[in-house]
Structure 1
Amino acid sequence: MSDVSADAFAPSTVVERLAAPHDGPVPFSVEFFPPRTEADEARLWHAVRVFERMDPAFVSLTYGAGGSTRDRTVRIAGELATSTTLTTVAHLTAVNHSLDELRGLVGAYADKGITNLLALRGDPPGDPLGEWVRHPEGVSYASELVELIGSLGDFHIGVASFPEGHHRAPNLAADTGNLIRKLRSGAEYSVTQIFFDVDDYLRLRDRVVAADPEQGAKPIIPGIMPITSLATVRRMVELSGSVLPQRVAERLAAAAGDGPEEDRAAVREVGIDLCTEMAQRLVAEGAPCLHFCSLNFTRATSEVLERIGIDTRGALTPA
Structure 2
Amino acid sequence: MTAASRPAETPLFAGAAGDISVSFEFFPPKTEKMEEQLWDAITQLAPLDPSFVSVTYGAGGSTRERTHATVSRIVRETALVPAAHLTCVAASKDEIGEVVDQYWDAGVRHIVALRGDPPPTDGGRFVPHPEGYASAAELVEGLRKRHDFEISVAAYPEVHPEAVSAEVDLDNLKRKIDAGATRAITQFFFSTDAYFRFLDKALAAGITAPILPGIMPVTSFSAIRRMSGNTEIPGWLETMFEGLDERPGPRALVAAVAAADLCKRLYEGGVRDFHFYTLNRAEQAYAICQLLGLRPKELVG
The two structures share one fold, judged by TM-score above 0.5? yes
Deviation per residue, 1:257-304 (Å, 9 max, x gap): xxxx53333332322221011110111212241111111111111111
2:235 to 246, 254, 257: 246
1:219 matched residue in structure 2: 210
Q: Secondary structure at the match of 2:75?
A: helix
SS at match of 2:54: strand
Alpha carbons of 1:148 and 1:97: their partners in 2 closer, same or farther (altered >3 Å)?
same
Do residues 236 (structure 1) and 230 (structure 2) align? no
Cα distance in 2 between the residues matched to 1:274 and 1:300 = 11
SS in 1 for 2:241: helix
Question: Are 1:83 and 2:77 an aligned pair?
Answer: yes
Whether 2:135 is the aligned partner of 1:141: answer: yes
Of residues 280, 285, 288 in structure 2, which corresponds to 1:296? Answer: 280
- Name structure 1 gaps, 5 residues minimum: 1-22, 315-319
- Name structure 2 gaps, 5 residues minimum: 1-16
Structure 1 residue 310: Cα displacement: 0.9
Corresponding position: 1:122 with 2:106:
no
Letter in structure 1 aligned against 2:112: L
Please name the residue that 2:270 is paired with: 286
Q: Which residue of 1 is the match for residue 260 of structure 2? A: 276
Q: Which amino acid aligns with 1:303?
A: A
1:16 maps to none
TM-score by length of 2: 0.89
> Counterpart of 2:194?
200
State the alpha-carbon separation in 2 of the partners of residues 129 and 250 from structure 1.
34
Distance in 2 between residues matched to 1:211 and 1:75, nearest whole Å: 38
2:248 is equivalent to residue 264 of structure 1: yes
1:92 match = 86
Contact 1:228 1:272 in 2 (8 A): no
Q: How far apart, in 2, do the equivalents of 1:292 and 1:97 lie?
A: 28
- Point out the more displaced range, 278-287 or 92-101: 278-287
Aligned length: 282
Q: What amino acid does structure 1 have at the position aligned with 2:224?
A: V
TM superposition shift of 1:313: 6.6
Q: TM-score, normalised by structure 1?
A: 0.84
3-state SS of paired residue (2:120): coil
Contact 2:158 2:230 in 1 (8 A): no
Aligned to 2:21: 27
Deviation, 1:43, is 1.0
Instruction: Verify the 8 A CA contact 1:165 1:171 in the aligned structure 2.
Output: yes
Rg: which structure is higher? 2
Partner of 1:14: none
Q: Sequence identity, in percent?
A: 39
